[in-house]
Each structure stands twice: as structure tokens, then as C-alpha cells.
Structure 1
Amino acid sequence: MTMRWLRSTLVAAAAWSMAAAQDAEFTETPSEYAIGTLARAPGCSLADFCRLARNDLSGQTEIYYPDSPEFEEATTRWSNVGAPIANITVVPAVESDVTKLVRIANNCNIPFLAYNGRHGALTTLGQMTWGIAIDLRSLSGVTISSDGKTATVLGGTNSKVLIDALWSAGKQAVTGTCECVSYMGPGLGGGHGWLQGHHGLIADQWVSAKIVTADGQLRTINSNSDLWWAVKGAGHNFGIVTSVTIKIFPIVKTNWAITTLMYTGDKVQALYQAANDHLLKNGTQPFYIIQEGVTAVDTTYTAPFIALGPISVSNNTGTYKDVSSWVGISLDGPPCQKTGAANPRFPLYLEQYNPSAMATLYNAFKDGTNSSSPFATSLFMFEGYSMQGVKAINAASTAYAFRENNLLTAPLVQYTPGSAALDAQAKAFGNQLRNILHAGSGRSQKHTYVNYAYGDETKQETYGHESWRSSKLLQLKDKYDPQRVFNFYAPAA
């Protein structure tokens, strides 16, 4: 079950990212000089960094400067609010380049930020006001093991590449739902996906990983490492994952089907009561209503919603590879386009819907996105994935903390960036919507999803409210990243 309001339309989505531009001292070529003269670290200048990088990195590594179209392309982000600023973008060609980049940046005392698809909308990224962007795009590829039970995925691989590579071999794995988003980014925050009902979250599939930690070491970690717990849910805080070996599975059911229903606003309470009564069922059944292994969604699931009198009903059938296009998140879909918009989200997990709160929410959303509003193109995501596989994993075994929740909700406040006042207005609107849902949940504590986070969430709201979780994250952060060089994406400690 996945839903999205675009006004009163119901649909789905997913995401993550980083990067931008500024300055340093340089005198070698026009392109290099264009970096500027403003930023200088206590250790060495950005010019020094570039010289060291050229001498030490592999010949295929690319370095882009702000006056180049390559730099522009590499730093354009899906969401442009609270954006990080980079002076130089480096595209490492091989895994060893990443370790060298981290060491050089540390020695020069220059901030750095690694990224894949640049889909993150987290405002804490804006705390990077200068430094080096490390674009992992060249570290892309999938290698299936000889026994067909695992695959090794390079750190810059996007979901579509992984899905297609496995599908052609008769295999599949839990990935993010949006085709253009990296595989690794969502996984570092836990990672939801269509197949999680069978197998658990993206991170639950990991067997081992290679990660460059803050000291510039390339470590191979698995369940025997204390870092393993942290990487699976708070991984953005602990290093740059250059590859991960994951569990993969035979394709058992190739057919998938979807039913899409649209309603008028007066049906809101009845609609979400029906979702509670007929779809959630303690989290065991994933309108869009999407079903695996059939050519048409079973009427057991659709009949209660047809009875509510939708204004339209449409059906489609195909394979797993068609699902993202059905819900508008394929490579050519809107979430995969970087248009210059600001796209902050305000996530909240729920156990079930409060129909009365949903009616209040609908009216607030409708009023806030009227045709004269700067937020008129905003949408609201309601994602209800099958949860059996997620709940089957011991919650204490990963930094991802919120396995008991059945629903992931998030307003996406979309607008054209213009001023700090407009950003503040968007933040207030997004939190107004989130707080309506929270009040209706009856909970005293908010549970939020780090991969959708806005940036004003507390550490407990992002990584779990149990005191032992906070203590463990702090202990591991002090051990592996005492200087907090990985602290731009939802700092955990």
C-alpha cells in the first residue's frame, strides 16, 4: 500500500544526496584559478590539496572546478534548501582513491563530503560551507558470487543498475523504490523497499562491507565488528562505504499488479479508516495497492475501497521492473529530475492512521497548497510497505530503531528557493503537517526516518529514544570519528 496526495490524488516516493561550489588560491590554469582565493585551511590550501591529489590519485580520477560544466552537473542537487557548498568535486576512479582523498583532506584540515545521487534534502548538509565533494559515481558495478547467493555492489551504484543486473541473472534484492537514487544511501539509514516484507530492510541484507573510516583506513567489516551495528541505520556518520556484499534471492514471482484509486476530499476519514481495517492488519499486508505474484490485485484488498466510491479506478500489470514507473519514480519520473526546486520533507512513522487527524491534515494541506501558495506543487507521501521481514529482525541488532512502525508519512514541501523567510515559512508549514499526524498518533515521542529527515529532528527522534542507543552511538563515534569529520548528514553523536 502506497499513497501520495497531489491535491487529492493518491501515489508514492523515496530519496537521498549532497554538493555545490566556492573557492581557494590557485595560479596554474584558468580553470584552477577560477576556484578563487577565499577559502584556506590551517593545514594547507585547496590549491595544495589539488596538487597532492594529482600526485597521489589514480590517473583516471577526475577533478572538477566551479567554472566547468562538469562541476555544475556534479553539484546540482534534487533539493536546494540547506545545500552544502563545495569548492572542488573529485570523482575517484578506484576504491583506493577514496582512502587517499580522506587522508589528504584530513592532513590539509579540509572538510569533505561523499555522495552518490544527491537526493538528500537534509538541512544539516548546509553545515558544510566549503570543502571537497567526493562523487562516487565511477564506483558503480555489481558482481554476483559463483553460488548465486550474494552480490558485491560498489558504493556508487544506483538502484536501477542493481535491479537490472540482478534481474538479468534471475535474481533480486531489497533496494530503494526510486530508480535514480543510490543503492547505498538509503541502506545507510536502514532503507525501505518493495521486497522488505520478504527479507527486511536494505541494510538487513548486508553480509560485509568495505568502508573508509575517518582516519583514512579501508576496513572490511561484518557482524564481528562493533561498527557493523552503527553502519546499519546511522551509517552516514561513520565513513564512506566503497562496496557492500549483500544477500540476493531467486526471482520466484515475476508478475506484479497495481490498482490506483482516486477520491474526492470528503472521503478522507472513510478512506483511512478502511486502510486501517483492511490493509494494515498489524503490518502484514502491504491506494495505490500493489501486489506481487498476480496479474490483477486481489479483490480482497480492493473491494473495501471500491465500495467507498472512488472517482476513478485504474489497473496495470507487469513485472517487478515496472512498479517504479507505475508510481512515478522511474528514471524519467519527477523525483529523478533536478529542477532547482527546494524539496524538504518532514517524516513521521505511525502504527496506524487516525482518520480524524487525517481529515484535519487534508484540510491543512489543501489550504497550504492552494494555487496562490508558493508551495502549490507540494505533495504528501504515505508509504505502507509489508513489514513481516522488517519486524522479524531483532530491533536491538541495528542502529535503525523503528521496526515496530507500519507506516511512513512525509509532507514534501516543494517550492522555488528565494529567501530565508520563505525557507522558514516552508519549515513551519512542513512541521505543522507533521505535528497534526503526531498529535493524532497519541504518542509522546516522534519516530522519524533519517533518509527523509528535514534536519530539525532530535537525535532520539532519528536514531531511537532508548538511552542505550544514544550511548552506543556516542561510544562508536568517539572511537571511529573523534574529530567528527562525518557530521554533515544527521549527526548521530
Structure 2
Amino acid sequence: MFRLRLEALVAVAALISASCADVLTRGLCSRDDPDVQALGSALSPTAEIYFPGSDEFEAATTRWSVLETPTVNVVVVPGTENDVVATVKYANKKRLPFLVYNGVHGAITTLGRMDSGVGISLGKLSSVKIAGDGNTATIGGGTFSKTVTDTLWAAGKQTVTGTCECVSYLGPALGGGHGWLQGHHGLVADQLVSARIVLADGTLKTIDANSDLWWAIGGAGHNFGIVTSVTTKIFDIEHRDWAIETLIFSGDKLEAVYQAANDLLADGTQSADLINWSYWLNIPDFDPDHPVIMFYIIQQGVTAVDPTYTSPFHAIGPLSIQPQAGTYTDLAGWTGIANTSPPCQNAGLVNPRFPIYLYEYNVAALRTAYDTYAEAIGGSSVFNASLFMFEGYPTEGVRAQGLESSAFAFRDRRLLAAPLITYSPLDAERDAEAARVGNQLRQILHDASGLQEFGVYVNYAYGDETPEQWYGSEEWRQDRLQGLKAKYDPSGKFSFFGPVA
């Protein structure tokens, strides 16, 4: 029998007593509602249902960013993929919207359009099962990236995952998915062999490259269904040794730092074993008045980063140099995105990002952006906990898949930049100012890029961008997405995360 969270019922009753027929509570006025009971009876013994007022509901619905968040009246925690089917059919019967919860790190403001529906939290669908031939693994839809990495590593295997430990494995994959190993193998989505997916009408299907829907899953997948599991390619560990050098520079060194960074990119031929990342952030111990530049040079297959790559940066005069050596499993901790790192905590903050893809670092534009950013987040600014992120992954494996191979449109871009404007929630005026700052910063970079198309990584998107900016502006791309949407989700059930229309 399903576990209905009875301890929440008193709180629910108080919440809805004034207007039980109101749209906010339709179909959920009582544990005795026959449709709720029917849903419970259809679920597996390990499934759970949470109502508002319970600690479990609060934990399941509290998001990493609290700007324009979805609102649900009930959370179903499936114990099996068939529980997902039952929940979707229940929501459709009640004419309620539904939304999958899988790490709650999606911060796109389009999620705020989800109002008064059913949350489907996939946390119990967490598993990693390696096939007997050692070439693939089946991964549950609720599995987190760290679980995938650690499980495979213990078996002498690895695959491309998102870089941040506290996000789900599949969330990034459905938007393409950047990762440390992409220079060798491509995006997270490029590794997928097949998927189990619940469609808008509650149908459960297995799809692979023979399905017309497969093209869309790898880049615009949030729009087409609930992926309950995937089978993905895995690989023998090629390099157990990894090394990083973390360098901190004062802002006046910006031009020299990013000219040296352009040399690392080597006109798009950056080694698949080499990654450069950087953050602009306030660290008062190094500079009490201006953001500093924290620059990472990461190399696999070594115990110390090759001086060929680090020496040009040493010559610039960093405030600090910190070399470290370890394994692939240390990368998230080194770069501040481990489970225990501050960016992974759901601390009740607003965390909008404003991403843009680039080909190279335009040094003059970076100076303008830095000065604008420093003014916006300096001193006692309410935005002083913000970051400006620059991710310079190797791209050989991504480009090798071909520009038309999936709905992910920006395989030829070499850099991903994104201001992350962090602040405590207050009012619409503060939200608008954060949006103004974030959009101004990426507009500066776009104007200097020489690119007509404004390319945005949908997994980082703010929400005011267009489908063309998320999924590519080519007419054939948009036509293909629209055709698939009309075929598989004509009623727009999956239209809350970066909708294609």
C-alpha cells in the first residue's frame, strides 16, 4: 500500500479550508478524494505521496533558485517507472499540469508557469547497472551525477556526466550536457544508446536512434517526456591521474590572463586532455575592493599540470598559485561544485544565470564586462555573492558528432560564459535589477563576438530567451522541433522548461 503522508493532512486542511473548490486545490481537498485514493492504489508499495505542510513536501519542492519557481499541490515519489505512468495518467484525468523534479537545480524562469499541479520526484529511481560486456550501463532517471561517477569509477569505468555533483545525471543530458570528458567522447547526450520515456499521454516507450524522437531528446528533451532510465555508453578509465592548478589574479591582470587563455584554446584545437575554467568573484582576503579572477588549468593523465600550459600564467604575476593532484573524482571538489560546496546548497537564494556561447575570449569586451560586473557586485551590493563563470572545455569529441546530429545546436562553439547573479529574495524591483545586470553582461560579450546568432545553453538559461536562442535559429531545426512537438505533445504538457514553442 502506498504511503500517504497523513501527518500533513491537518496542515493541508487549514491551507485549503477557505476554498476547497478553488483551482489551487482542485482534486486534492481530502485524502478521501476517490481519485487520490485510486492513484495511491495504482502505485507500487515503495511509492510515496507528499502534501503541503509536511517536511517531505518542503524538502522535495525547495529549489536551488527561488526565482519564479513552480507551484505544486502534491508530490508523488515513484518507486517504479510504472508509478510515473500512473501519475501522468492521474494528472491528465484531473486536468492538472505536472512537472518532474530531479535535483531541483533548474533555474529557468519558465518553470514559474507551472501552477497548481503535480510534482513527480524521481529520487527513488536511482540506479547504475553495468552490462555484462562492460560497454554500457543502465542509469535510472533519478540518479545524480556523483552516483554515476563513483559507481562506474569503482568498476574501472567512466562516462561523460555533468560537472556538478549535486545535479542529476539526466537533467543536463536532456539539454545536451557538458562534462569533463567531452573532448574525448562528446556531450552527455551523445553517449545515450536508448531511453525509457513516458510520453504526454502516459504511454511508456523504449526509444533509440531508430525513433524520430531520438534527435530531439539530446538537446531539447525536457519538452517531450519523462525519461525514467537510459542505457549509455561507458568506457574503461583511460587516465587515473588528474591535476589542477588554481591561480588567482587581481582584476588589473585581466587582459594578460585571457590572452594567455586564448592561446590555450589554440584556435579550437585545445587538447582533449586540457580544460580551462575561471570565475570572477569577490574574495576580500585577496582584494577587498574588486572581484578577483580565479583561473583553473586542468589536465588529465598527469600528476602536475604541464609547465608549457602554466608558465605563461605564472609570468603574469598571480596573487596565488595552488597545484593539486588526484583523480577524476576530485574535480568537483577542486572547482567548488561538490555536494558539500556552497553552490550546491539550497539556501533560499535567487540564482539566475545568463549564459552565452562564444568562440574565444574577446579581451576588450571582457574588460568592459569586468568593469560593469565589478561595479554591480562590489562593496555592500546585494549581489556581492555572485559569480561570473567561464567554461573552456575541449570540443573535439563534441564537434565530431556533426552539427545536425541532435537538437543541441552549438557544437562549434568553444566557450560557455555565464554570469550567475546571486542574491537574497526581496521584491520584483530587485529581481528586475538582477536581470538587467545579467543581460547587460552577456550582451557586452555577444556584441563583441561577431556572431549573429545568440547561442544559449538551455540548462543554464535565464528564461527570457527565445527558442531559437536555446535550440538554434536554423529554419530546419525549428521546423523539426515543432513537428515533433505536434506529434508527441500536441497539448503542450511538457512546456515548462525552455519550451520549444
Verify same fold: TM over 0.5.
yes
Amino acid corresponding to residue 394 of structure 1 in structure 2: G
- Asked if the contact 2:353–2:418 (Cα under 8 Å) also holds between the matched residues in 1, the reply is yes
User: Match for residue 448 of structure 2?
Assistant: 440
Q: Which residue is equivalent to 2:333?
A: 325
C-alpha change, 1:200 and 1:39, in structure 2 (3 Å) is farther
| Structure 1 residue aligned with 2:27 | 45
2:15 & 2:491 partners in 1: Cα distance? 27
AA in 2 matched with 1:256? W
Q: Please say if 1:471 is aligned against 2:479.
A: yes
Q: Which runs of 5+ in 2 are unaligned?
A: 1-5, 276-294
For each residue in 1:207-238, what CA deviation from the matched residue of structure 2 results, as whole angstroms up to 9, or x when unmatched? Answer: 00000000100010000000000011000000
C-alpha deviation, 1:267, in angstroms: 1.0
For 1:34 and 1:198, the matched residues in 2 are separated by 56
**For the residues of structure 1 that align with 2:219 and 2:230, how far apart are their CA atoms?**
15
The answer (yes or no) to whether the contact 2:197–2:227 under 8 Å persists in 1 is yes
State the Cα deviation string for residues 48-97 of structure 1 (Å, max 9, x = none): 44222112111221111111111111111100101111111110111100
1:374-405, CA deviations, whole angstroms, 9 ceiling, x for partnerless residues?
A: 11111100000111100100111100000000
Q: SS of the counterpart of 1:277?
A: helix
Given candidates 188, 191, 199, the residue that maps to 1:202 is: 188
SS class of match (2:404)? helix
Aligned-residue offset at 1:44: 6.3
1:454 counterpart residue number: 462
Q: Deviations over 1:157-203 (max 9, x none)?
A: 00011111101110000000011100000000000000000100000
Q: CA deviation at 1:45?
A: 1.6
Aligned counterparts, 1:82-481, within 5 A: 82-285=68-271, 286=275, 287-481=295-489
Contact 1:271 1:305 in 2 (8 A): yes
Structure 1 residue identity aligned to 2:459: N
Counterpart secondary structure, 2:197: strand
CA contact (8 A) 2:77 2:122 kept: yes
Which deviations, in whole Å up to 9, do the C-alpha atoms of 1:315-352 show, x marking residues without a partner?
00000001110011111011210100000000000000
Instruction: Give the Å deviation of 1:370.
Output: 1.2
Aligned partner of residue 395 in structure 1, secondary structure: coil
Instruction: Answer yes or no: is the 8 Å Cα contact 1:41–1:109 preserved in 2.
Output: no
What is aligned with 1:17?
A: none
1:132 is paired with a residue whose SS is strand
Distance 1:433 1:168 in 2: 42
Q: 1:178, 1:324 within 8 Å by CA — same for their partners in 2?
A: yes
Q: CA deviation at 1:38?
A: 5.4
Shift of 1:43: 12
Q: Report the Cα offset of residue 304 of structure 1.
A: 1.1
User: Higher relative contact order by CA 8 Å / sep ≥ 6: 1 or 2?
Assistant: 1
What is the rounded CA distance, in whole Å, between the counterparts of 1:283 and 1:125 in structure 2?
Answer: 37
- 2:393 is paired with a residue whose SS is coil
Classify the secondary structure of the residue corresponding to 1:428: helix
State the Cα distance separating 1:29 from its structure 2 match: 4.5
Q: 1:76 aligns with which of 38, 53, 62?
A: 62
Say whether 1:57 aligns with 2:27. Answer: no
In structure 1, list runs of 5 or more residues that go unmatched. 1-25
- Residues 459/283 of structure 1: CA separation in 2 closer, same or farther (3 Å cut): farther
The answer to whether the 8 A contact 2:9-2:51 is kept is: no
Q: Match of 2:301, as an amino acid?
A: G
Q: Which amino acid letter does the alignment assign opposite residue 116 of structure 1?
A: N
The answer to whether 1:491 aligns with 2:499 is yes
Structure 1: how far apart are the matches of 2:167 and 2:297? 23
**Cα RMSD (Å):** 1.7
Which secondary structure does the structure 1 equivalent of 2:448 belong to? helix
CA distance in 1, matches of 2:415, 2:181: 15
Displacement of 1:39 after TM fit?
6.3
Instruction: Flag the 1:80–1:44 CA change in 2: closer, same or farther, 3 A.
Output: closer
Alpha-carbon distance in 2 for matches of 1:38, 1:402: 48
How much has 1:465 moved relative to structure 2? Answer: 1.0
Which deviates more from structure 2 when the two are superposed, residues 398-407 or residues 31-40? 31-40
Distance 1:39 1:144 in 2: 49
State whether residues 188 and 231 of structure 1, in contact with CA within 8 Å, keep that contact through their aligned partners in structure 2. Answer: yes
Q: Which amino acid aligns with 1:348?
A: I
Tell me the TM-score normalised to structure 2 length: 0.91
Q: Verify the 8 A CA contact 2:130 2:138 in the aligned structure 1.
A: yes
Q: Aligned-pair distance for 1:309?
A: 1.2
Give the structure 1 partner of residue 283 of structure 2: none
Q: Distance in 2 between matches of 1:180 and 1:33?
A: 34
Distance in structure 2 (CA, Å) of the matches to 1:453 and 1:102: 26
SS in 2 for 1:377: coil
| Bigger Cα displacement from structure 2, 46-55 vs 361-370 | 46-55
Q: Distance in 1 between matches of 2:161 and 2:302?
A: 21
Q: What is the TM-score of this pair, normalised by structure 1?
A: 0.92
Cα separation, partners in 2 of 1:97 and 1:35, compared to 1, 3 Å: farther
Q: Contact 1:34 / 1:66 at 8 angstroms: preserved in 2?
A: no
How has the CA–CA distance of structure 1 residues 43 and 265 changed in structure 2, closer, same or farther, with 3 Å as cutoff?
closer
Q: 1:324 to 1:158 in 2, by over 3 A?
A: same
